[in-house]
Structure 1
């Protein structure tokens, strides 16, 4: 590789670059890259996007044969950190973290950039290592930022500063770097010291830091991507001057060209805007609440932009995997949001930085997606309280925010408020429901399940209730619990209004557990699964916990394990569990395998496929869990009714456990308790394609308990 006659020394470099006085990129980085032969950098997180930008940002340098070394901090989750602290193999955890970043779905520009990284690695021009803090058994994040340019003559420039090796760090942000030139008196010692610091890092000889080689599996993945992507590394493809569109930070929300707005979505947005940007959208699960809210946010942002006002948008969701889904949705509308969950060290600097840019008029929009827990945390609450720009709060599955703890955290400075839920009313909590309406406003648009099916937003379905009698031991436990419930009712307590945490509420939950875990359901499930053994896209919803047993007995069997044995071992169907302990990265892989239609036939779930998970390919559902909570069964039905290619209808099997006829239980109490079960079945059946068959199945039970009016 050749440089100018004097390399770095031939160019003029300042001792300091700061965004208010100089263009850091044009004044420092580009001239240094134009003559240097090697570049050593320690900086920031390793992410797929930052790697893609890194490759594109050094196009000229790499084309001339420059050699690079990069030390970055692996993007460790709290689970990763705990695994390391518990003594798990560090290399395995680091490899998992790197694979997780490369597994993230990316657009073509990012994949092209990663392909360039792979080619640079394969050609021996780029080497990467990953660093993290390891001190007194605790794991931390490596935040230091330093770099060294060297040329063929042996001169070097070392620098430290705030910039990251990303578009935001190099071009979009307010940055400053301190520069030390080896040929300048007073600078030389500092420049050599910084180079020594980097070499110590590279050799893993820095106290309290651990530096690991880049995992082989991730390296191989990048090299393979470099072979697959045919986009050449162009010396003119330079992110420092002209970043690729896919990784540029868009200045405003825009409705994507591929999106067809349905008539009901347009009506929902117009109604919300007529209510001055406040209200609740009560829309059936699977009808596109997320996209409807993004259309509304885009229309609002258009109005504000015409007024030359910025927009701060906060989306609040109950679970971490929903953050990931919302991030992808928002990116589809042209803006990259900040995910707010897990350690605040990951999101707090970005949030503070972007909100500062909004206040200074340097950024027209900031978008954040937070879990309920992170949103309600003290650090994020402090940030929210300081926002003075127009703030839009979008609450997904808003019923979760009606609890005392969460509703007190809702920001009073939010000018615009939009709530989403198929069931915004909180179960047995009128006070919480009223609080949500007081904050967000009234229901401004409603799309029920029947209308959604009629308009083609959801697919049609058949409903097959299965009545299963309790066994002898289960019946006795059921009688005992019902007798205790009857005593509370006789004392004046109400079954329908019972506090779930009260003694009566506890008895009702135990009784529901007896029904949900009824052993006889497994035999009927076996028959139904066997009849559809050749079908793909099947979901089984199991009851939570273990089967209730009489007091003093050991804990009962776990229905999830029993179903897994039945499906996998006995019926020999390809299956996998999907539960709260399933890591988020693995969940993504499982859903992809399930949706392929040639790998997993059955997913066995416990709660985790209720809210927000998008599995449109699911065609057959088996509901073993016996829940009278309308939200739960509405969510589960909605999972199965989403549209997908080649899917014209779904099948729902619902297993209803009942005591044998003649069981000696107070008739009025039993009738009241079973009313909930039959209301659920009736709700499922009335919109199904086979309602008459449903009525025939349920009629004997309705007649026994004088519930023919349902």
Structure 2
């Protein structure tokens, strides 16, 4: 009714006459939506309505007070209440400008009988464009529920249609009689002057504002009071939003709701994003009474569950869309329909990258036509070819989250992300986060591990093949494609370094020093040693060997956390780790993105790819703040060529060290023990002349 009839007719008119049963704050909120174009056309309004009478008003009328005075008091009370209602204040401000310009008049109608009053309950309206008339009548009051929420009906009559002309003329004449107090059994009295001071005061407070002026940014966050508005996210009262998080949200709003937050792991990207969504939802309600659908896309199912937990803290139970389509599709479509009909004021759906890119979820997005906010957790993943083409153009608001938004050796994917989400609007690296005490301080211990002769020979062989492919003009974008010939070779070389045999003995010595300690993470290399495949040997995986060292040899309590670990078991492992029932978690990549393990105090990095994203995320994972935790320890196993070895060329050795030392330099310069770290590496740097690395 509003979108298809009311607002288009108002925007095309120069005169609007309306007589309704109830005069409420939401009348003015609805009028405010379409009044801009109406005002630009020089439009004028005449409104006849009745105020809502409470018991005190009725008692006064029955006691003999003048009915007109009681009706005016009731109408003024409603207007004053509207000044405190964010849904109506914007509309009041716009109407106030018309009042000040003498282009709108209000009158009150009521049925007066001795000692009592009857309510005026007719509902008619007339739009005029200076030539033609559109008249309507029906059950709808001029309230938000009347025009949006209820099941209502109106009949519309057009003066240019011979079938409607007589009815349109009669409704127009009825309104004129009503306005001039010529309708039998009704009293119609002026109200404009009485209302003028209240309405003009609101006009003054809203004059000159644009939409951004109304954003709740830079000040106190919205509190849980907004939870009374069904379906709207609301910042919990118990959440202390940090200053830098407020700044991030403010920057995003100033960029018209587009942008990427480049924030270090552990600095609260999730809570920052939900705070932005809560404020956006509130803003849209104030602006034009719109409902907001928020879609959160995260890489994995366990991250969807983690997001859902935080969203529930913000007052909404989201739909979790993953696994079988039948488990979420019908509920999601019902939710979208409720938003469209105005029966819900907001909703959140959290999904995985895989489900988001599938046809069922894309069809759901295509079916929704209202305001849409897309939040991408670990947004760099959505730059992949198969996902970036699925990003919805219809999303008016877009927020990307990542500690490392640039895709490694994938300029096209990085550019696609920036084209879609916008520029980086806020940045906080690990150094700044440590200085602000959002992350804890740390010590860094690099442990040098030499390749054995077999590993060194294989490393040189693979490096030679890589060099020949690049020299032959192989597209460097294939660095990001693990299925390409170049990608496979790069992975094999990284696996040689990650699975270096000497790491296990070195790990045993390092853990033995700390075997009485708790909250330790061990990051292992994936799969098996490349030499096992090459020799056709079915040997153990590194993760199995590490579990044996920790559990069988050092008698520490430990658990695996891998892709094969079921979701319920993962949650149990994290709970036990948090409670100090487990000393150690042995993992591979599963802890890289988004998993909260703030209690972790020591991290052993047996495997780190040369992709900066991985080691930056792993460092951030262990630097998260937790009660009783003031610092963390990172033990990094750094692979170096064998001393005196002749199996690999000197330049290949330098290349290996450059990659390893780049990570060491990144970790060391923010560590409390930077000087000690540099001394540890000095002999290797001297041997290969790598003091510039």
What TM-score, normalized to structure 2?
0.65
Counterparts in 2 of 1:500-579, with a 5 A limit? 500-549=482-531, 551-579=534-562
Aligned position for 1:640? 622
**Offset at residue 472 of structure 1 (A):** 2.9
Partners of 2:491 and 2:424 lie apart in 1 by 31
Aligned position for 2:276? 296
Aligned position for 1:316? 297
Aligned position for 2:334? 353
**1:25-74 deviation per Cα after TM superposition (whole angstroms, max 9, x unaligned):** xxxxxxxxxxxxxxxxxxxxxxxxxxxxxxxxxxxxxxxxxxxxxxxxxx
Aligned position for 2:85? none
The answer to whether the 8 Å contact 2:232/2:347 transfers is: no
- Equivalent position to 1:703, from 670, 674, 686: 686
Partners of 1:490 and 1:363 lie apart in 2 by 60
Aligned position for 2:595? 613
The answer to whether the 8 Å contact 1:482/1:670 transfers is: no
The question of 1:282 aligning with 2:262 is answered: yes
Partners of 2:335 and 2:477 lie apart in 1 by 48
Aligned position for 1:692? 675
Aligned position for 1:584? 567
Equivalent pairs counted in the alignment come to 468
**Offset at residue 291 of structure 1 (A):** 0.3
Partners of 1:576 and 1:456 lie apart in 2 by 30
Aligned position for 1:236? none
- Equivalent position to 1:651, from 622, 633, 638: 633
**1:452-487 deviation per Cα after TM superposition (whole angstroms, max 9, x unaligned):** 000000000000001111123222322332343344
Aligned position for 1:469? 450
**1:330-376 deviation per Cα after TM superposition (whole angstroms, max 9, x unaligned):** 11111111111111111111111111111111111111001111111
The answer to whether the 8 Å contact 1:539/1:618 transfers is: yes
The answer to whether the 8 Å contact 1:310/1:365 transfers is: yes
The answer to whether the 8 Å contact 1:626/1:656 transfers is: no
Aligned position for 1:344? 325
Change (3 A) 1:252 1:489: closer
Q: Secondary structure at the match of 2:262?
A: strand
Aligned position for 2:104? none
**Offset at residue 377 of structure 1 (A):** 1.1
Aligned position for 1:453? 434
Asked which structure has the greater CA Rg, the reply is 2
**1:502-538 deviation per Cα after TM superposition (whole angstroms, max 9, x unaligned):** 3333222212111111111111111111110111100
Partners of 1:584 and 1:173 lie apart in 2 by 43
Partners of 1:363 and 1:640 lie apart in 2 by 40
The answer to whether the 8 Å contact 1:542/1:605 transfers is: yes
The answer to whether the 8 Å contact 1:398/1:420 transfers is: yes
Q: Secondary structure at the match of 2:546?
A: helix
**Offset at residue 248 of structure 1 (A):** 9.5
The answer to whether the 8 Å contact 2:562/2:587 transfers is: yes
Partners of 2:590 and 2:639 lie apart in 1 by 23
The question of 1:668 aligning with 2:651 is answered: yes
Aligned position for 1:394? 375
Partners of 1:386 and 1:554 lie apart in 2 by 54
The answer to whether the 8 Å contact 1:622/1:654 transfers is: yes
**1:284-338 deviation per Cα after TM superposition (whole angstroms, max 9, x unaligned):** 0000000000111111111101121110110000100111111111111111111
The answer to whether the 8 Å contact 1:463/1:685 transfers is: yes
The answer to whether the 8 Å contact 2:519/2:584 transfers is: yes
The answer to whether the 8 Å contact 1:340/1:368 transfers is: yes
Aligned position for 1:680? 663
Partners of 1:488 and 1:316 lie apart in 2 by 36
Q: Secondary structure at the match of 2:245?
A: helix
Partners of 1:639 and 1:693 lie apart in 2 by 23
The question of 1:485 aligning with 2:475 is answered: no
Aligned position for 2:111? none
Partners of 1:515 and 1:619 lie apart in 2 by 25
Partners of 1:173 and 1:651 lie apart in 2 by 61
Q: Secondary structure at the match of 1:368?
A: strand
Aligned position for 2:393? 412
Aligned position for 1:602? 584
- Equivalent position to 2:344, from 332, 338, 363: 363
Partners of 2:687 and 2:611 lie apart in 1 by 24
**Offset at residue 657 of structure 1 (A):** 1.7
RMSD of the alignment, in Å? Answer: 2.2
The answer to whether the 8 Å contact 2:245/2:272 transfers is: yes
**1:558-607 deviation per Cα after TM superposition (whole angstroms, max 9, x unaligned):** 1000000010001110111110011111111110000102x110110011
Partners of 1:516 and 1:324 lie apart in 2 by 30
Q: Secondary structure at the match of 1:549?
A: helix
Partners of 1:375 and 1:305 lie apart in 2 by 27
Q: Secondary structure at the match of 2:328?
A: helix
Q: Secondary structure at the match of 1:616?
A: coil
Change (3 A) 1:496 1:347: closer
Counterparts in 2 of 1:92-491, with a 5 A limit? 250-306=230-286, 307-491=288-472
**1:121-173 deviation per Cα after TM superposition (whole angstroms, max 9, x unaligned):** xxxxxxxxxxxxxxxxxxxxxxxxxxxxxxxxxxxxxxxxxxxxxxxxxxx99
Aligned position for 1:626? 608
Change (3 A) 1:611 1:512: same
The answer to whether the 8 Å contact 2:460/2:652 transfers is: no
Change (3 A) 1:377 1:492: closer
Structure 2 residues not aligned, in runs of 5+: 1-148, 152-224
The answer to whether the 8 Å contact 2:319/2:348 transfers is: yes
Partners of 1:386 and 1:268 lie apart in 2 by 31
The answer to whether the 8 Å contact 1:486/1:669 transfers is: no
The answer to whether the 8 Å contact 2:460/2:649 transfers is: no
Partners of 2:271 and 2:334 lie apart in 1 by 27
The answer to whether the 8 Å contact 1:250/1:334 transfers is: no
Aligned position for 2:26? none
Partners of 1:419 and 1:269 lie apart in 2 by 12
Partners of 1:611 and 1:419 lie apart in 2 by 15
**Offset at residue 500 of structure 1 (A):** 4.0
**1:415-462 deviation per Cα after TM superposition (whole angstroms, max 9, x unaligned):** 000000000111110100000000000000000110000000000000
Partners of 1:678 and 1:501 lie apart in 2 by 27
Structure 1 residues not aligned, in runs of 5+: 1-171, 175-244
Partners of 2:383 and 2:643 lie apart in 1 by 41
